[in-house]
Chains A and B, each alone.
Chain A
């Protein structure tokens, strides 16, 4: 499994479990917008960032934790991959 696929899988599982309980996993695609469309809120951002820092052993700065870097699974994977 490639690095990006691994990140995608783990993050997707976390988001489905924490914020989209009961959603059909296929509905959450790599480019589904989450923050800019109200699917996830500001508190979800904090939880997601805490998860990413712990799971991937990286450090995310406050200015990086915005909708631009975290809006889609692709955005998140890109941020995490760049940090590892």
Chain B
């Protein structure tokens, strides 16, 4: 089964049910979503896009964006969603890196991204709706193309399980984002597990809070659409405003919520949830980072009814372990809850430093294999081979880089990372990518970036700099500079200036000292 069969089948079964809703009232039925994505499929096919190609998606969260995703899949190509709020330099790099054959981009951003891609030698075909909202701008853009020469009806491609469905770019330690390649089987096996575990029904209303370049969006899009349920698309700006979000959950009668713990923590603190009706919620899912128990306990007091589930997993596997939060969180508990057990469509082992399985109670790296696991990174064979471990049992295991320990009951507990990747607001951040950005500043001679624990924000990112002439630089100017290269969650929270960076005895940058300095 191809990933887009989810829509085709639901459209046949529930043609008139609402598939997508935008806050503000615009909706699209399953039949309409199927028809609009067919029109895009036809246009892309007429442009020569097909099996084995990639198509860039540079649209804000909207009905237009979801219809585009299905249009791309239906013509047999893989979609590459980028963050429409990230700098054009970064998005242009991503879209050129995986050589998208076509790009669907909102007209106002077309020039900046196109110029950046052109600089890198990439010239995709472009479909440029004037904006997004309700599917109308996409429809209008397709009508414009049809006015030139109508696109003949194409057939929906029956993609094989091992063909690529989408590529999600995450922060890369070398300073460039890297593309995680996911197949139809990777996604459908995960969605099937979600269906079995979470038992959604057609009367459910799901939230889509995560952006489409984030792997949480896979559950958001494909799980409700597998069951004839409705998906409420939350625009990027609203997604950051706890007060507006609390109101949206009440107004839209959301039944299944899924987001990072960060936004749930903000909802608890700033969302005035005590004044809002959260009674429609029956499931609250969270993933992407550790949920501080103090905020989780407060949330459960404000929303006592739903089931709470901690989902864990990197983009390379999507969710690979899960843990159901107990009904009662003891008032004195401060230790975060475990990440739980390996999902049934996958297998997991915990390996010690020598690659040998470690017994319960001992720390090791969590490794995963199975239907949900990526085949690797786009065009990065060396990084791909480093990420996998061939074991004597014949298995090829993805090394998560997460250090875990099995508790006596069998649940896995997350202990930390074995490298320099951190999570900020649920996003993966390679501190090396921030350093690479800072090195592009003409006055920076040396840069070392560390993450420092922070009671309120989870962690803060601090950059330690040595400048060429030893002078301090303006923090405002540095943040602005980073903002031209990096997404906002990667801009350092603070900066320190040094005559030289501390070194270890082996003459490496002493990151531990730098963390302690904060």
Contacts and interface: CB of A to CB of B under 8 A. Distances in A.
B439 interface: no
A32 B472 contact: no
Nearest to B270: A46
Interface in B441-474: 457, 472, 474
B495 interface: yes
A14 B433 CA distance: 30
Contact of B266 (A39, A43, A63, A65): A43
Contacts of B489: 41
A62 B244 CA distance: 7
Contact of B483 (A20, A37, A63): A37
B31 to A, nearest CB: 35
A24 interface: yes
Interface string B239-268: 011111001000000000000000000100
Contact of A38 (B491, B493, B497): B491
Most-contacted residue by chain A among B472, B488, B493, B496 (CB, 10 A): B493
Given A22-B494, A46-B266, A39 B476 contact: yes
Interface of A: 19-24, 27-28, 32, 37-39, 41-43, 46, 50, 62-63, 65
A59 B497 CA distance: 38
Contacts of A28: 476
Report, as a range, how many residues of chain B touch the other chain.
20 to 34
16 contacts: A20-B475, A20-B476, A21-B475, A22-B475, A23-B474, A27-B476, A37-B479, A37-B483, A39-B476, A39-B480, A42-B241, A42-B488, A46-B269, A62-B244, A63-B244, A65-B241
A24 B474 CA distance: 7
A27 B474 contact: yes
A30 B8 CA distance: 55
A38 to B, nearest CB: 3
Contact of B491 (A27, A41, A50, A63): A41
Nearest to B489: A41
A28 B497 CA distance: 19
B240 A38 contact: no
A50 B272 CA distance: 13
Contacts of B496: 22
Given A46-B266, A62-B244, A21 B494 contact: yes
Q: Which secondary structure characterizes the binding site on chain A? A: loop
Contacts of A41: 488-489, 491
B168 interface: no
B421 interface: no
Most-contacted residue by chain B among A21, A28, A38 (CB, 10 A): A38
Interface in B18-53: none
A23 B476 contact: yes
B479 A38 contact: yes
Interface string B491-507: 10111110000000000
A37 B479 CA distance: 8
Interface string B476-492: 11011011000011010
Interface in B204-254: 240-244, 247
Contacts of B243: 62, 65
Given A38-B482, A39-B476, 20 more contacts: A21-B475, A22-B472, A22-B494, A22-B495, A22-B496, A22-B497, A28-B476, A32-B476, A37-B480, A37-B483, A38-B479, A38-B483, A38-B488, A38-B491, A39-B483, A42-B240, A43-B266, A43-B425, A43-B457, A63-B244
